[in-house]
Amino acid sequence: MSQTPSSSAIGTVYIVGSGPGDIDLLTLRAARLIGQADAVVYDHLIAEGVLDLARADAEKIYVGKKSSNHTVPQADLNRLLVQLARAGKSVVRLKGGDPFVFGRGGEEIEALVQSRIPFEVVPGVTAAAGCAAYAGIPLTHRDHAQAVAFATGHLKDGTINLDWPALARPRLTIVFYMGVGGIGEICRQLIAHGLPEGHPAAVVQNGTTRRQRVLTADLATLAEKVEAAQITSPALIIVGTVVRLQPTLAWFQPQP
Active site residue 163: no
Do the domains spanning 7-122 and 127-249 agree at the CATH topology level? no
For residue 17, the SS3 value is strand
Domain residue spans of the chain: 7-122, 127-249
Residues 165-213 pLDDT 10s: 999 999 999 999 999 999 999 999 999 999 999 999 999 999 999 999 9
| CA distances in angstroms from 191 to 31, 199, 236, 239, 247, listed in the order given | 43, 9, 19, 12, 24
Name the CATH superfamily, with its identifier, for domain 127-249. Tetrapyrrole methylase, C-terminal domain (3.30.950.10)
Report the predicted TM-score, pTM, of the whole model to 2 decimal places.
0.90
Catalytic (active site) residue 143: no
CATH for 7-122? 3.40.1010.10
Instruction: Kindly report, residue by residue over 55-96, the tens digit of the pLDDT.
Output: 999 999 999 865 555 578 999 999 999 999 999 999 999 999
User: Of 22, 24, 38, 43, which residue is the catalytic one?
Assistant: 43
Please give the DSSP secondary-structure letter assigned to residue 5: P
CA gap 204, 207 in Å, rounded: 6
At residue 174, φ and ψ (nearest 5 deg) are -110, 130
User: Of these residues, 22, 65, 89, 98, which one is catalytic?
Assistant: 65
